[in-house]
Structure 1
Amino acid sequence: MAEATRDRVRAAIQELGFVRNESARRLRQGPSRAAYDRRATTPRPRAFGIVVEDLTNPYASDVARGAELTLNEAGHDALWLSSDHSPDKERRSLELLAEHQAAGVLIVPVGIGPADIDRVRASSGMAVVLIDHAGPDVCSVQVDHVAGGDIAAAHLLSLGRHRLAFVTGAQGPQPCAERGHGAARALAKAGGGKLFTLRQDALSPTEGQAAAHRLLKLSPVPDAVFCANDLLAIGMINELQRLGVRIPDDIAVIGYDDIELASSSAVPLTTIRQPRYAVGEEAAELALAEFAEGESHLHRQVILTPELVIRESA
């Protein structure tokens, strides 16, 4: 094929939103020897994609696991993918799922918007469900993170702590930003107070350790810390203790998520529990419904409530 022809084909593909049909490609190639050997007559179940920001984060893997179990019970497979907080990788994940004719995608979005969702549906027919985000004309499952932040700060205030710090990620993911808004709301309801905000490069234990050093340089030093997730909180507690700070006597620390490690850390972590498995289960149910009902499907937005789990750190 001439280069000019290739350029015209590429332009048409981009304009029309074409995605390669992997099944059709394999059909043109003809059946493999393995295909001749198979004796199964039951059609292969359709797969659903689960795209999260970071599969190494226990919260994300628990959400994906809840979704997978629900999909499996309905006779479908689940494909786990991570965007690694990259819009480009997120786009490639969606293209891969469309190419393999996935029935739907459950996604924690980092870059896609309403126009992208419309293109995904139009080009592939996939059902789309957003996790931890909402949008027009799309199903979604969220936790009320503003309420979660409010609960966390209100608990710290009830302990007599008034110099609160909020430790979060540098990129300010929407759920984390909402947790900060909730904490600020609790302070406002209590008559004011200073909420210091420390932004770290990632929501990880290592960044929690780094935040501990920054925290002790503040003047005055906060007497309570609300971390945007448990990984940050566990790293912070470990480093504060190493530096001779007593938890919770000198500084109370509260996390968010209630991952499995929270209860078994050096100082069992007080945290805001997200219904992790329920988030995945609800998202899967919405995706299954949209897949089954097609254009008659009515989109729903599900909002779940977090709860306080009191342990020894605050």
Structure 2
Amino acid sequence: MSSEQTSLETVGSRAINIQAVADAAGVSKTTVSHVISGKRPVSTGTRRKVERVMNELGFEPNFFAQAMQRSRSNTIALIVQDITNPFYPALARGLQTSVAAQNQVVLLFDAGAGEESTKAFVKDAIQRRVDGVVVASGNLGHEIDNLQRAGIALVAVGSGLSDLPIDWVSADDSRIASDAVRRLHELGHNKIAIIGGPQNGEPAISRLAGYRHALTDLRITVPSAFKVDGDWTTRGGQLAMQALLDADERPTAVFCANDLMAIGAMNALLAAGLRVPEDIALIGVDDIDASALVRPALSTVRVPAEEIGRAAGDLLLHRLAEGDSSSRRHVLVQHSLINRHSA
């Protein structure tokens, strides 16, 4: 029986820590630490023996201890507004693709869980010493300040946090709405309504501004009832569309500030026995997968969520490499009209 086998047997029910691995492998505790951290050279034979012993003992290095030693956790947090919106999983995929090459793990949190849950997550992220946070939610309040005070690198997605001294990625939300309205006008529509998002933050504010700017440029006047706010959900779009149908004057086309609300609006129209686009045309925003699957297929403005996620990851990796020495950076992603059958 080898000395290594004997050492493994003597571990028994003892706590499996670095010292236990060192004893079983017949090396020093320092050597085991060097194998784990990779910061100091260890001979190939010794490294393989230590790794084999760790595997046989079921030893897992302490995450927090390593983070303390390295001043890096190889972890990035992503805070999104609503994980049930297909836009955000696509964004998360792009972020993960960007940072994977640097062996970064992405922690995903849904800010829709509420203020207290968000506070708890941010506190945990700080305690875990996450290397950076990508914020794709505009309603974090003081939590942004807490992350900045902790010295954590931040990247914002969207224009909601664009006034802060942090890197950010955005689409041109005002132009997105303007282009959609102009497309509806090109199709012969002058009675163009909007189902917008909640007007307490972005991108709803900018998309409403773009809608109004386009109407002004096109010299189109519409009644105030043509502006209805939804809540970014399919149900919200359905209720908003019903409000438009109940108004004294009915629009012939509706710009919806995201695809989920546009799909909800389509459901309301079909339930009312109306045809899309013959009776009322619809254009959404995002180009989520479902927009091509509904019937009629939804015309929309494509906002490349994966590209936004990759850009956010690239900015964050750049910030981690450069520290605070580099100037604030902004990446503007390009949108495009996707013409299908609802308009």
TM-score interval, normalised by the smaller of the two chains: 0.7 to 0.9
Q: Secondary structure at the match of 1:256?
A: strand
1:241 aligns with 2:270: yes
1:155 aligns with 2:183: yes
Conserved 8 A contact 2:17-2:59: no
Deviation at 1:168, TM superposition (A): 2.0
1:33 aligns with 2:16: yes
State the Cα deviation string for residues 94-132 of structure 1 (Å, max 9, x = none): 21111111000000233346x754542332x21111111
**Aligned ranges for residues 1-314 of structure 1 at < 5 Å?**
33=16, 37-38=57-58, 46-84=74-112, 86-112=114-140, 117-123=144-150, 125-133=151-159, 134-194=162-222, 196-200=226-230, 202-314=231-343
Q: Secondary structure at the match of 2:254?
A: strand
Deviation at 1:219, TM superposition (A): 2.0
In structure 1, distance between residues paired with 2:303 and 2:176: 9
More displaced 10-residue stretch of structure 1: 282-291 or 31-40: 31-40
Deviation at 1:51, TM superposition (A): 0.3
In structure 1, distance between residues paired with 2:313 and 2:253: 37
**Structure with the greater relative contact order (CA < 8 A, sep ≥ 6): 1 or 2?**
1
Conserved 8 A contact 1:230-1:257: yes
In structure 1, distance between residues paired with 2:143 and 2:60: 38
| Equivalent residue letter for 1:199 | D
- Segments of structure 1 that go 5 or more residues without pairing to the other structure are 1-30
Distance 1:262 1:46, change over 3 A: same
In structure 2, distance between residues paired with 1:142 and 1:121: 20
| Equivalent residue letter for 1:267 | P
Alignment RMSD (CA, Å): 2.3
More displaced 10-residue stretch of structure 1: 36-45 or 92-101: 36-45
- Give me the TM-score of the superposition, normalised by structure 1: 0.83
Conserved 8 A contact 2:258-2:285: yes
Q: Secondary structure at the match of 1:84?
A: helix
Q: Which has the larger radius of gyration?
A: 2
Conserved 8 A contact 2:74-2:105: yes
Count matched residues: 281
Conserved 8 A contact 1:164-1:224: yes
Deviation at 1:194, TM superposition (A): 1.1
In structure 1, distance between residues paired with 2:87 and 2:270: 25
Q: Secondary structure at the match of 2:112?
A: coil
In structure 2, distance between residues paired with 1:160 and 1:79: 47
In structure 1, distance between residues paired with 2:76 and 2:154: 10
In structure 1, distance between residues paired with 2:195 and 2:239: 11
In structure 2, distance between residues paired with 1:155 and 1:34: 65
Conserved 8 A contact 1:90-1:110: no
Distance 1:250 1:172, change over 3 A: farther
State the Cα deviation string for residues 206-240 of structure 1 (Å, max 9, x = none): 22222222111112100000111101111111221
State the Cα deviation string for residues 71-100 of structure 1 (Å, max 9, x = none): 112211100001107444333322111111
Distance 1:135 1:89, change over 3 A: farther
Conserved 8 A contact 1:87-1:110: no
In structure 2, distance between residues paired with 1:227 and 1:99: 40
| Equivalent residue letter for 1:228 | A
- Segments of structure 2 that go 5 or more residues without pairing to the other structure are 1-13, 22-56, 68-72
Conserved 8 A contact 2:266-2:276: yes
In structure 1, distance between residues paired with 2:15 and 2:260: 47
In structure 1, distance between residues paired with 2:200 and 2:336: 22
Conserved 8 A contact 1:205-1:231: yes
| Equivalent residue letter for 2:111 | S
Q: Secondary structure at the match of 2:203?
A: helix
In structure 2, distance between residues paired with 1:38 and 1:267: 55
